[in-house]
Structure 1
Amino acid sequence: MSLQWALIAGFLYTEIAIVVLLLLPVISPARWQKIFRSRFLNSLSSQASLYFTVLLGFLCLFLLDAIREIRKYSGSSEPGSDPKHQHLHLDTEMQGNMRLFRAQRNFYISGFALFLCLVIRRLTTLISTQATLMAENAAALQQARSATTTARNLMTEKRGAGEEAQNNSNEVSDLKEQVKEKDENLQKLTDALDAKKKELKELHIELEKIKKNNEALVSQQTGLSREYDRLADENSKLQKIFDSTNKKSD
């Protein structure tokens, strides 16, 4: 095997090992994502498309060369060729078959190398996409859990607010009952006060009457006192006249 085909065969074996590693379930897509985003691969990612295109170009050239070699060395063994030239010499036939075998081997090596190169690119893309989807799924799940927790807290707070509102409503009802009862008591007190005011007014009117009667009695008593004093004076005068008359008769 020539050096170039030995390198392609080594590249093929490396691709097989890489495909096996990519297909192993031991390494998770997230770990592969970290490997793909390493510093070394990131330094190559800017020119990865160029490298991949050049590699595909070389593999396609080797594949075409292998096809050309197959067509070249398989023409001598076609059924329509001259039998004398086909079996001219055993060594020449064995050498042609060996070259045909090498050409076919090179065709399979280059073909599988080209195929596995495309497979590896596709696998890396799918693994990266899967890792991204897993991360987004985990983030969405965490967000959903947070939303569920928030909703539960809101429901709990709402339930507590409802119970508090119910308690407040009960307290308001009790306060209304107390206010109503106080209003009734106040109405009773107002009615009693009105009755007392009416009674006080009647007493005031009666007191005015009594005052007037007392004033009349005082006036009458004053008149009687004056009349008594006058009569007492007249009586005294008459007594003096009577005493002087008695003295003259003696």
Structure 2
Amino acid sequence: MSLQWTLIAGFLYAEIAIVLLLVLPVASPKRWNAFFKSRFLQGLQRQAGIYFLILLAILVLFLLDAIREMRKYSQIDSEEHGHAHLDREMQGSMRLFRAQRNFYISGFSLFLSLVIRRLVTLISSQAELLAQSEASLRQAQSATTAARSLLAQQGEMAQNSSNEAHDKEVTELKTKIKELEEELATEVKDKSALKKQSDNLAKEYDRLAEEHSKLQKKITISAEGDSKKDN
């Protein structure tokens, strides 16, 4: 294997290792995103697009060269089949095999380059979505806590206003009861005075009735005495 194809094969193996690291649960999307946004990678990110395009162009060139070699040795093998010497036929088959091997190496390298770029984009997007979901969850939790505290404050205010209304009502009832008790005491006093006055009037009536009876008796006696004198 020549030097350039050895380098491409090593690059392919490195791509396979990178894909395995990105696919397997080695690290969380947050850690991968933090690694992607490190200072070193941020410094390379400005020219990463150019480097990626250059790499793709190189892989495409090697892929086209491998396709050309495959077509070349395939045509030679088909033209000389059955007529060439055994050693020459084996050399042609070996060259065709190398061309096919180079085709697969360059093709898979190109394919895995696109896969790695897509995986990095998806992992970064997933990390951002996770951060946004956690921020939304924290915001929702804080809003729920604030709503609960507001409802508790409103409940306390309603309870306090209810207690104040109840205390006011109790105070008004106590005032009314006190007024009614005073009115009842006044009525009791008036009733006692009227009863006492009624008793005095009854005694006075009995006294006057007794005096009237005595006067009638005296008048009757004096009238009888006058009638006897006349006779």
| TM norm structure 1 | 0.69
- CA deviation vs aligned residue, 1:186-238 (integer Å, no higher than 9, x gap): 9x6xx9xxxxxxxxxxxxxxxxxxxxxxxxxxxxxxxxxxxxxxxxxxxxxxx
How many residues align structurally? 187
Q: CA deviation at 1:35?
A: 0.4
What is aligned with 1:115? 111
Q: CA deviation at 1:27?
A: 0.6
- CA deviation vs aligned residue, 1:163-183 (integer Å, no higher than 9, x gap): 111101112222333555677
Between 1:130-139 and 1:167-176, the stretch displaced more is 167-176
- Where does structure 1 differ by over 4 angstroms across 4 or more consecutive aligned residues? 178-186
What is aligned with 1:162? 158
- CA deviation vs aligned residue, 1:38-92 (integer Å, no higher than 9, x gap): 11100001111111111111101110110011011111233xx465xx4321111
- Listed as ranges, the gaps of 5+ residues in structure 1 are 192-250
What is aligned with 2:129? 133
Q: Which has the larger radius of gyration?
A: 1
User: In 2, distance between residues paired with 1:114 and 1:21?
Assistant: 18
Q: Give the alignment of 1:4-153 within 5 angstroms.
A: 4-78=4-78, 81=79, 83=81, 86-153=82-149
Q: Which amino acid aligns with 1:8?
A: I
Please, what is the CA RMSD of the aligned residues? 2.3
User: In 2, distance between residues paired with 1:140 and 1:39?
Assistant: 28
User: In 2, distance between residues paired with 1:183 and 1:61?
Assistant: 111
User: In 2, distance between residues paired with 1:125 and 1:90?
Assistant: 52
Q: Give the conservation status (yes or no) of the 8 Å contact 1:87–1:93.
A: no
- Listed as ranges, the gaps of 5+ residues in structure 2 are 187-231
| TM norm structure 2 | 0.74
Q: Which amino acid aligns with 2:95?
A: R
What secondary structure, in the 3-state scheme, does the structure 1 residue paired with 2:92 have? helix
User: In 1, distance between residues paired with 2:107 and 2:101?
Assistant: 10
What is aligned with 1:244? none
Pair 110,39 (structure 1): closer, same or farther in 2 beyond 3 Å: same
Q: Percent identity?
A: 58
Q: CA deviation at 1:104?
A: 0.3
User: In 1, distance between residues paired with 2:145 and 2:83?
Assistant: 86
Q: CA deviation at 1:148?
A: 1.2
